[in-house]
């Protein structure tokens, strides 16, 4: 590719051929150039992402070894296994910065070797040879979302189980106390009930016959306007076959004396399999399971901000990758300055801008989790801010 560019530049300078011959000779160049730049960018991005993942994984391993020092049952191999299971999760977080570093390195080398100058002399704009790397960054993001995300969810879940078993001597399950809200048309139309479970002792969803048991529960039945109708205190509660079964209960109705009931039941859409997912972290859910989990949580009357934010963040990942690439191009895709210190300063500004974007994404994430801004806006804010900056830099470079 560079030889083609230099040949065209020499032809222009020496005026050996006519303009029509030059156009015919260079017609194939944009596609060749796009392929060349895309391959170079892809290789540098893989190297940068792998280096960042290994570096973070090394610090994670050191922290796990420190935690395992006080637990004789957790040896070095357990710490290594947990650290390796964290790798896919770190990849999803690191890949935008791998794109940034790979893009900066790629465009910096192209500019230093005067390949950018040769391409501009051949009447090829920056937007033309950015097409290849841009497509590569989008494909990397799509692959990460569709393939790495399910792997990350499974590995992170297994790592959390190992960490809690060996490093905290606890088994992860549902919280000891669980609040649920469901529709209840038994007393009033469009009514609902609020269920507070204490001390969940058993939960099984491996077979068709799935169940959940709690030592004690409080049931509040309300109408559509949240007016209190009655309260039920149960000494034993069980979820099975699409219904809640309450045993050894005391029913309290306003204006009436409390009465004891041996048992009664309420229909429910909740299953033990869905109940097991209520207490899990959003990071342990893949792109394929998140929509269903959000629906189940909404049916149970539980907040879904974290799950929605995680879903939108995964969907925005390919566009965040493309944004990082454009930022790298805006800073590094320019003629190599004579003073090396100035070049390093410009490259450092590009990398610093990427990390500022990372800080902005974390702030937006916290605001989204707290409900201050909608989850969709929290996930797309870094992309919009980065695209605005990258677009202005590239337009300024094209005009200059």
Long-range residue pairs from 379-384, CB within 8 A, at least 24 positions apart, any chain: 379/309, 379/312, 379/313, 379/315, 379/316, 380/312, 380/316, 380/319, 382/320, 382/323, 382/357, 382/358, 383/316, 383/319, 383/320, 383/323
Of 396, 333, 351, nearest to 112 by C-alpha is: 333
How much is the pLDDT for 53? 93
- Report the alpha-carbon distance of residue 313 to residue 286 in Å, rounded: 12
How much is the pLDDT for 13? 42
Asked whether residue 186 falls in the same domain as residue 163, the answer is: no
Q: At what angle do helices 340-370 and 375-399 cross, to 10 degrees?
A: 160
- Residue 353 in any domain: the answer is yes
Asked whether residue 141 falls in the same domain as residue 208, the answer is: no
- Residue 266 in any domain: the answer is yes
- Residue 140 in any domain: the answer is yes
Asked whether residue 183 falls in the same domain as residue 162, the answer is: no
Distance from the Cα of residue 161 to its chain's centroid: 21
What is the model's pTM? 0.76
Q: How many domains is the chain partitioned into structurally?
A: 2
- Residue 27 in any domain: the answer is yes
Q: Is the dihedral of CA 330, 391, 319, 152 positive or negative?
A: positive
How much is the pLDDT for 338? 52
How much is the pLDDT for 336? 55
Are 194 and 268 in contact by the 8 Å Cβ rule? The answer is no
How much is the pLDDT for 176? 64
- Residue 290 in any domain: the answer is no
Asked whether residue 34 falls in the same domain as residue 139, the answer is: yes
Are 300 and 278 in contact by the 8 Å Cβ rule? The answer is yes
- Report the alpha-carbon distance of residue 301 to residue 295 in Å, rounded: 10
Asked whether residue 326 falls in the same domain as residue 271, the answer is: no
- Residue 286 in any domain: the answer is no
Q: Where does residue 31 fall: left (phi above 0), alpha (psi -120 to 50 degrees), or beta otherwise?
A: alpha
- Residue 307 in any domain: the answer is no
Which one of 258, 278, 298 terminates a domain? Answer: 278
How much is the pLDDT for 89? 93
b/e burial code for range 329-353 (CB count within 10 A of at least 16 → b):
bbbbbbebeeeeeebeebbeebbeb
**CATH code of the domain in which 254 resides:** 2.60.450
Rounded to a whole number, what is the largest CA-CA distance in the chain? 107
- Residue 254 in any domain: the answer is yes
Residue with tokens 């994404």: 361
Q: Domain of 120?
A: 2-168+312-399
Asked whether residue 139 falls in the same domain as residue 62, the answer is: yes
Asked whether residue 94 falls in the same domain as residue 118, the answer is: yes
How much is the pLDDT for 304? 86
One pLDDT digit (tens) per residue for the chain, 400 residues: 455 555 444 544 444 444 444 444 444 556 777 788 889 999 999 999 999 999 999 999 999 888 888 777 777 888 899 999 999 999 999 999 999 999 888 888 877 766 666 666 666 666 777 888 999 999 999 999 999 999 999 999 888 888 877 877 554 445 567 788 888 877 777 788 888 888 776 555 554 445 678 888 999 988 888 888 899 999 888 888 788 889 989 999 888 888 888 888 888 877 776 776 666 778 888 888 888 888 878 877 778 888 999 999 999 999 999 999 998 888 877 665 555 566 677 778 878 888 888 889 889 989 988 888 999 999 999 999 989 988 888 887 666 5
Asked whether residue 274 falls in the same domain as residue 337, the answer is: no
How much is the pLDDT for 67? 85
Asked whether residue 344 falls in the same domain as residue 241, the answer is: no
Of 62, 127, 49, 125, nearest to 88 by C-alpha is: 49
- Report the alpha-carbon distance of residue 257 to residue 58 in Å, rounded: 65
Distance from the Cα of residue 313 to its chain's centroid: 5
User: Residue 17, Cβ neighbours under 10 Å: how many?
Assistant: 14
């Amino acid at each position: 590719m560079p030889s083609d560019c230099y040949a065209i530049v020499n032809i222009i300078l020496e005026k050996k051929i006519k303009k029509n011959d030059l156009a015919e000779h260079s017609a194939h160049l944009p596609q060749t150039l796009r392929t060349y730049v895309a391959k170079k960018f892809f290789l540098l991005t893989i190297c940068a992402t792998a280096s960042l993942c290994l570096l973070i994984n090394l610090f994670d391993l050191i922290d796990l070894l420190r935690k395992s020092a006080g637990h004789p049952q957790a040896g070095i191999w357990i710490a290594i296994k947990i650290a390796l299971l964290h790798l896919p999760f770190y990849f999803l977080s690191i890949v935008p910065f791998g794109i940034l570093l790979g893009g900066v390195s790629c465009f910096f080398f192209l500019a230093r070797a005067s390949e950018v100058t040769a391409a501009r002399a051949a009447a090829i704009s920056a937007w033309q040879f950015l097409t290849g790397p841009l497509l590569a960054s989008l494909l990397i993001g799509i692959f990460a979302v569709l393939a790495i995300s399910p792997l990350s969810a499974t590995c992170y879940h297994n790592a959390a189980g190992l960490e809690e078993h060996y490093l905290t001597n606890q088994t992860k399950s549902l919280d000891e106390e669980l609040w649920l809200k469901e529709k209840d048309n038994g007393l009033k139309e469009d009514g609902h009930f609020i269920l507070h479970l204490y001390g969940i002792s058993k939960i099984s969803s491996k077979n068709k016959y799935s169940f959940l048991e709690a030592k004690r529960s409080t049931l509040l039945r309300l109408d559509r306007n949240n007016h209190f109708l009655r309260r039920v205190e149960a000494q034993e509660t069980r979820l099975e076959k699409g219904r809640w079964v309450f045993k050894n209960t005391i029913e309290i109705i306003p204006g009436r004396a409390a009465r004891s009931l041996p048992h009664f039941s309420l229909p429910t859409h909740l299953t033990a399999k869905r109940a097991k997912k209520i207490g899990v972290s959003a990071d342990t859910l893949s792109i394929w399971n998140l929509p269903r989990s959000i629906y189940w949580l909404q049916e149970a009357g539980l907040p879904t901000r974290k799950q929605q934010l995680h879903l939108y963040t995964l969907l925005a990942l390919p566009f965040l990758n493309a944004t990082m690439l454009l930022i790298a191009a805006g800073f590094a895709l320019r003629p190599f300055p004579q003073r090396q210190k100035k070049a390093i300063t410009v490259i450092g500004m590009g990398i610093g801008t990427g990390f500022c974007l990372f800080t902005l994404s974390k702030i937006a994430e916290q605001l989204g989790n707290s409900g201050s801004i909608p989850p969709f806006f929290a996930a797309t804010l870094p992309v919009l801010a980065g695209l605005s900056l990258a677009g202005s830099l590239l337009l300024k470079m094209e005009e200059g």
